[in-house]
Structure 1
Amino acid sequence: MPKVGIIYNDTKPVACRVATELDEKLRQLGYDVHRLSGAGGILGYSSPDDPVQRTPIEDLVPPHFDADMDFAMVLGGDGTVLAAARQVAPTGVPLLTINTGHMGFLTEAYLNQLPQAIDCVLSGDYTIEHRVMLVVQMFHNDQLAWEALCLNEMVLHREPLTSMCHFEIAIGRHAPVDIAADGVIVSTPTGSTAYALSAGGPVIAPGVPVLQLIPICPHSLASRALVFSDHELVVIHPANPDRLVMVVDGNAGCYVLPEDRVQVMRSPYSAKFIRLRPPEFFQVLREKLGWGLPHIAKPTSVELP
């Protein structure tokens, strides 16, 4: 019996309703269906009383989601897609993403296109796009204390009401650099249209084998975004006396103390997304972010005296 999965945002009534309807429909078609909430991919935030809450990467894989699963559908917005990718990337299961949220930058189809999307996938009329993911790790006293998969970005920043931070950052074999800023971002090409874009970084097309490092509000005109090979290991040491906060993909984080270090590297796992048409990145930029839209001021006809 073929096996499929459904991952949905259980805080949104429309996603819950559609998940139930899809479950019934696919079972009638003879599929073994496994349904779960995308909340399982959210690692949660640390607290001062519990500064590190480590869940090993492979432990996030849900039961019954394995290489035998044909595909999984994700019902939600970008946050649900990010959580689902973290859950299933180690299994290699491809994701059909349906937007029931707002922006939906990472989703493939809208809810009103769901019947056609299901027909295409069940008939095998689709391609699979691979997106690079990162492994983010925090070491305390040289012991691995926290880790997570990352599709968009890792952000290491100061806590509220503390001063500007200093970061000593080494990329690959290159000499370390010191950056004074409110924080730093390490982003994938997928994440280049998220927080990295808001922080002044360039948009990077998917498939380009690079990462980018972006200082947040740097205290130097020379500190700008840096693009480098995604095969380079990034090591960050906080060079200040206050603890920092690390957030991955906006929904998982931990505290980083002055004696800790953060490592970011390309993951052996990639996020696999089902594409119902050839990927057209510039069109997505145009529709979602308004990139490339014409801005032409046409003069009004005025009769001269």
Structure 2
Amino acid sequence: MPKIGIIYNNIKPIATRVAHELKEQLASLGCEVCMATSFSGILGYARPENPLCHTPVDGLVPPGFDETMAFGIVLGGDGTVLAAFRQVAPCKLPLLAVNTGHMGFLTESYVNQLPKVLEQLLEGNYRVEKRSMLTVRVCRNDEAVWEALCLNEMVVHREPLTSMCHFEIKIGQHAAVDIAADGVIVSTPTGSTAYSLSAGGPVVTPDVPVLQLIPICPHSLASRALVFSDSEPVKIFPATPNPMIMVVDGNGGCYILPEDRIEVERSPYSARFIRLQRPEFFRILREKLGWGLPHIAKPTSVELP
């Protein structure tokens, strides 16, 4: 029988309970099971006294998780899914995301569907959908001092009590551009329905090989979202005397000093999502975000003469 991994959000009692029940069930079928919490996939937030809270990309892989695993199961919400892929992407491990949270935009199934889903998984009756990830590095004095994998987006923004920031941004071999804004976002297609969407960026289907650059509250009508090839790396130079904050996947990050350089590029690792049915992105947009629903006029309560 196969070797299977389980990653769960140990903050949520239902995820913890289901994870242990699932382990017992799989072990009774003769499977080798490795368990881990999503905690090690949490990047951690830097503080002024500790500006670089960092673990190398390969150092997040949980013990026992490797390329000999058939698949993994994630129990939690979208934050748990993001953390889990940071943990296992170097192992090329496909994950089935089971929703025990709220929105569950990245999840494929629900807890009450697990008995049927488990049978389908063990029969190998599923597809694997690859989604691009980003490698984010902070360079200081030409040395990489911080790095992380990113599935949704990288955000660099001003500190709460400082003024608007200025950025010099270079994409591939193109001429550098200057942007004045509260911050900037570099997003994958997966992240186009997250912070990027709230900041005015377009929705991009997951199979399109592009990245997005989105200014946050820009100081110019000419500064708008830009879509470009994901084969082109991005370099961001802070052009402001005050420290800024970088956040990856809304999960953690570090302080950016005026002399730092941020490098973002498509990662050699991919997020491998297990799909139990043919992926249908527009269906997910409709169910989770209400996109494309028909407009129905509401009848007036006032009787017209």
**1:161 deviation in Å?**
1.0
Q: Percent identity among equivalent residues?
A: 70
Compute the displacement of 1:19 (Å): 0.3
Decide whether the 8 Å contact of 2:44 with 2:54 is kept in 1.
Answer: no
Contact 2:6 2:33 in 1 (8 A): yes
Measured in 2, the distance between the counterparts of 1:88 and 1:63 equals 11
Q: What is the identity, as a one-letter code, of the residue corresponding to 1:155? A: V
Match of 1:277 in 2: 277
- Which amino acid letter does the alignment assign opposite residue 35 of structure 1? M
- What is the match of residue 290 of structure 1? 290
- CA distance in 2 between partners of 1:91 and 1:300 (Å): 58
Task: State the AA in 1 paired with 2:140.
Answer: H
Give the whole-Å Cα distance in 2 for the aligned partners of 1:304 and 1:195: 44
Deviation string 1:271-298 (CA, Å, 9 cap, x unpaired) is 0010000000000000000001111216
Displacement, 1:299? 5.3
In the TM superposition, what whole-angstrom CA distance separates every residue of 1:122-165 from its partner, at most 9, and x where no partner exists? Answer: 11110000000000000011111000000000000000010000
Q: Structure 1 residues 43 and 302 mapped into 2: Cα distance closer, same or farther (>3 Å)?
A: closer
Q: Secondary structure at the match of 2:90?
A: helix
Partner of 1:80: 80
Q: Alpha-carbon deviation of 1:2?
A: 2.0
Residue 51 of structure 1 corresponds to 51
Q: What residue is the counterpart of 2:143 in the other structure? A: 143
Residue matched to 1:229:
229
Structure 1 residue 155 corresponds to structure 2 residue 164: no
Question: Displacement of 1:113 after TM fit?
Answer: 1.2
Quote the offset at 1:302 in angstroms.
Answer: 8.9
Alignment of 1:90-101 (within 5 A): 90-101=90-101
CA distance in 2, matches of 1:115, 1:299: 44
| Alignment correspondent of 1:118 | 118
Aligned twin of 2:103: 103
The superposition leaves residues 227-279 of structure 1 with CA deviations (integer Å, 9 ceiling, x where unpaired) of 00000010000000000000000112000000000000000000001000000
Alignment partner, residue 261 of structure 1: 261
Say whether residues 1:13 and 2:13 are aligned partners: yes
Give the Cα–Cα distance (whole angstroms) in 1 for the partners of residues 254 and 227 of structure 2.
26
Residue equivalent to 2:208: 208
| Shift of residue 12, structure 1, vs aligned partner | 0.3
1:33 aligns with 2:40: no
Q: What is residue 174 of structure 1 aligned with on the other side?
A: 174
**CA 1:304 to 1:253, structure 2 compared with 1: closer, same or farther past 3 Å?**
closer
Q: Distance in 1 between matches of 2:113 and 2:168?
A: 48
Looking at structure 2, the residues matched to 202 and 187 of structure 1 have their Cα atoms a distance apart, in angstroms, of: 11
Counterpart-to-counterpart distance in 2, 1:300 and 1:154: 46
Note the C-alpha offset of 1:53.
2.2
- CA deviation string 1:72-108 (max 9, x = no partner): 1000000000000000000001001000000000000
Contact 2:236–2:261 (CA<8 Å) still a contact in 1?
Answer: yes
TM-score (norm: length of structure 1): 0.98
Judged with a 3 Å threshold, the aligned counterparts in structure 2 of structure 1 residues 115 and 303 are, in CA distance, closer, same or farther, namely: same
Aligned residues: 305
CA distance in 1, matches of 2:114, 2:97: 10
5+ unaligned residues in a row in structure 2: which ranges?
none
Matches of 1:31 and 1:97, distance apart in 2:
19
Q: Which amino acid aligns with 1:132?
A: S
Q: CA deviation at 1:16?
A: 0.5
Q: Quick one: which amino acid aligns to residue 124 of structure 2? A: G
Conserved in 1, the CA contact under 8 Å of 2:235 and 2:263?
A: yes
Aligned-pair distance for 1:64? Answer: 1.1
d(CA) in 2 for partners of 1:14 and 1:303? Answer: 51
The offset of 1:111, in angstroms, is 1.3
Shift of 1:112: 1.3
Could you list the structure 1 runs, at least 4 aligned residues long, displaced by more than 2 angstroms after superposition: 298-305
- 2:132 counterpart letter in structure 1: V
Deviation at 1:303, TM superposition (A): 8.1
Structure 1 counterpart of 2:270, one-letter code = S
What amino acid maps onto 1:25 in structure 2? Q
